[in-house]
Structure 1
């Protein structure tokens, strides 16, 4: 099959509002850049800068729109007694019909090569996806988003192993019923994906391992390759000082970049990072922390560690400046499918400190591109890894920056993604 010219239909709940949406848009945009006919359908469209992005709601006729809306409201009312922990997909809310998407896609082409399913919760069910794919003659490709494709509903299992055995009695919805909706959804997804021969694609080996362990996706063929990045914008610089001037960061400090996210979202690990930084501050380690994202998280009482809150920065050009200002990046997540910020940092030549969770296939063991802190969630181990980069001689740090970019940039190229996606049709 040629590397260009495939017809690819994407299904995603939305085009903005989180890492899953950002990753979906990057995949769609990269495929367009490689000459594929890539068309994306969403029910929450907020961006106007992405070509071939279809607001599926506009495809509905008046009666279809009324039926769809009432169905969603009724489904939400029926599950009000459930208080899910974290993001949770309820298939009864994913009641968008197949017909409008099929109609629009057929107006573009009668035959499609693949239907790529991103985060489609509250949009379409496995049964609807099957109908779309079979009508268009396409193969279903499941792009692993958090744990959405491998569980009966949750996006992060928070340590629950039941996704390996078919779910049921789901602790994340407070259920003790072994045949609850998580078990029903798990069984339905497992049956459909197996019957139609779906393919599971994961951005990291860690994520692929979860898919292999899942009762839903464990028997599906799978490939591992990361979400492509815009390497023309996300690139290394030799001198971080111009970027630091733009952001108001100290020119000569050793700068740690991190994503600021509410510590209450425990698996993202910002609370663990704060505890690690407190240990280092007590040891007299000098460091400047640049916090990208949520503000007001660092707290008071620092003696040797200073910080700057960069706030939310949208778009590759804006975040590129943040990476280019940094000496190293810390990802403290303890349960993450494949955090894009790790890849963004590496392609910008910024070494990464992280737990062994959702990391790309670059030479971590040799310490060339960063440092892996183990075991997962261990605060002293995270502090020790950060200390290495906080105190590393400048020449050694410069060498690691070059190694990070050299190792990562080929993996995140749009051409590589296109080649790997094409190959996925053959497995």
Structure 2
């Protein structure tokens, strides 16, 4: 079995999740290929990782030059339209990506020879019209949703907007919006491209699956299910807390509250609510906030809590060591498809306090693996943080059960096995349909 995975890059939360699926499938004997669009590669990768090189040029120098000029003009036009629409957009929103690329990006069956096409986080990498038009209608397409973008006209999280349920338009995330704005036009392009395709939706969390089942862009998919993200539990496991504290130069006598994200200053990640909650803590226990990821903190002290930013951590063993230094982990996200950092903390025996939203509730189980607060309520978040800061025995109990839950439900090989069973089912269905069509 050959499976072609498509993901925009090699780094970032969705890429890490996609690569875990790819690597685990290879461990199961699947000929899995990870196609990406990253221009720079900072690590040594085996031959199963392949950078996509679209066939931009036609035969002959004149045609090649014409295609290059045409492609460059199209790309510049797309950039102009996007910049014009995004100029003046409100602060705090994340990416807004489009379904048109500067070049045509056809699905070449000789290059992409898989029996299953598995899409992940695409961003701006694919030109929807030229790609999906060249995908055979009967080829199984598995699309793992890592955020809301496949459901919308451009945003990756809707921030409470419901316009994606009715074709987008009047987009609050655009600087120039209206009934026929960039989101509405992009929505129509996506909708037309997916007509008649053998599409199967996999969400990383139950919240996202529920959205996909009723969202117009994906409602016609032939199947829906949730397959949670899996972890390498040999690397992410409970460690020596005292040694980890020394490694990160943290006091041995404090309670460490962790928080992290690819970009901590993205509005939906809830840094504002977390800092407000830390400022409300009434505990007499010495407390330190340990923050990791991209972005900057507004200060180093919040109330009586010192907050340290250790920056972005890429090495897996260093990441596990950092989690080992924590007593509890905060997940104050206002929207979250899943939230890998919370699950990683649990794998290392650290309980999580989070908001009751999105995919977080798939693994933060109140009084079993952590605690949940009302979404956006900093005071309620503070109360729950304080409960664990003041109760070491409860922290340990929740942390132990969190690790046990991760071992039962979120191991990477188990996740890959679920995907393998899905692929086999789709290939069997295709094999039945093709002979009928031939007859």
Q: Same fold (TM over 0.5)?
A: yes
CA 224–286 in structure 1, closer or farther in 2 if over 3 Å, else same = same
Moved more, 20-29 or 66-75: 66-75
SS across alignment from 1:277: helix
| Aligned match of 1:224 | 226
**Distance 1:195-1:392 versus aligned 2 partners, 3 A rule:** same
Judged with a 3 Å threshold, the aligned counterparts in structure 2 of structure 1 residues 403 and 218 are, in CA distance, closer, same or farther, namely same
Tell me the residue number matched to 1:405: 403
8 Å contact kept, 2:141–2:200: yes
Query: Equivalent residue for 1:209?
Result: 210
CA distance in 1, matches of 2:111, 2:126: 16
5+ residue gaps in structure 1?
Answer: 1-5, 107-111
Q: Is the contact between residue 169 and residue 177 of structure 1 (CA under 8 Å) also seen in structure 2?
A: yes
Query: For residues 360 and 93 of structure 1, what CA distance do their matches in structure 2 show?
Result: 33
Q: Give 3-state SS (helix, strand or coil) of 1:80's partner.
A: helix
Relative to structure 1, the CA distance from residue 283 to residue 396 in structure 2 (aligned partners, 3 Å threshold; closer, same or farther) is closer
Matched, 1:11 2:19: no
- Residue 283 and residue 399 in structure 1: after superposition, are their counterparts in 2 closer, same or farther (change >3 A)? closer
Q: Is the 8 A contact 1:57 1:65 kept in 2?
A: no
1:102 aligns with 2:109: yes
- Change in Cα spacing, 1:249 to 1:300, as seen in structure 2 (3 Å) is closer
Tell me whether 1:90 sits opposite 2:93 in the alignment.
no
Deviation, structure 1 residue 343:
1.5
Tell me the CA shift for residue 261 of structure 1.
Answer: 7.0
Determine the C-alpha separation between the residues in 2 that align with 1:124 and 1:241.
47
Report the Cα offset of residue 361 of structure 1: 6.5
Q: Residues 129 and 409 of structure 1: is their aligned pair in 2 closer, same or farther, counting only changes over 3 Å?
A: farther
Residues 420 and 194 of structure 1: is their aligned pair in 2 closer, same or farther, counting only changes over 3 Å?
farther
CA deviation string 1:144-203 (max 9, x = no partner): 122111111111112111111221222222454323342233234345435213111111
Tell me whether 396-405 or 178-187 shows the greater mean CA deviation. Answer: 178-187
SS in 2 for 1:57: coil
Q: Tell whether the 8 Å contact from 1:285 to 1:305 is kept in structure 2 after alignment.
A: no
Q: Contact 2:139–2:198 at 8 Å: present in 1 too?
A: no
Q: Deviation string for 1:94-120 (max 9, x for gaps)?
A: 634215x533224xxxxx232111121
Q: Which whole-Å CA distance do the structure 2 matches of 1:67 and 1:346 have between them?
A: 51
**Alignment partners' CA distance in 1, 2:228 and 2:304:** 37
SS in 2 for 1:349: coil
| Distance in 2 (alpha carbons) for counterparts of 1:140 and 1:219 | 13
Of 61-70 and 26-35, the range deviating more from structure 2: 61-70
Cα 1:405/1:300, change in 2 over 3 Å: closer
- TM-score between the two structures when normalised by the length of structure 2: 0.85
TM-score, scaled to structure 1:
0.87
Bigger drift between 39-48 and 138-147 goes to: 39-48
Structure-2 separation of matches of 1:184 and 1:228: 36
| Residue in 1 that maps onto 2:196 | 195
Q: Which residue of 1 aligns with 2:180?
A: 179
Q: What residue is the counterpart of 1:79 in the other structure?
A: 82
**Number of the residue aligned with 1:382:** 381
In the superposition, relative to structure 1, how do residues 269 and 145 fare at CA in structure 2: closer, same or farther (>3 Å)? same
Alignment of 1:297-308 (within 5 A): 297=297, 299-300=299-300, 302=302, 304-308=304-308
Deviations 1:197-240 (A, max 9, x none): 31111111122222234221234321112222222111123x41
What is the DSSP-based 3-state SS (H/G/I as helix, E as strand, rest coil) of the residue aligned with 2:236?
coil
Counterpart of 1:53 in structure 2 is 49
Partner in structure 2 of residue 37 of structure 1: 31
Q: Does the Cα contact within 8 Å between 2:104 and 2:131 map onto a contact in 1?
A: no
Query: Is contact 2:388-2:394 (8 Å) kept?
Result: no
- The equivalent of 2:117 in structure 1 is 115
Task: Give the RMSD, CA atoms, in angstroms.
Answer: 2.6
Q: Which position in structure 2 is the counterpart of 1:3?
A: none
Deviations 1:7-35 (A, max 9, x none): 2111122112x222222222222222222
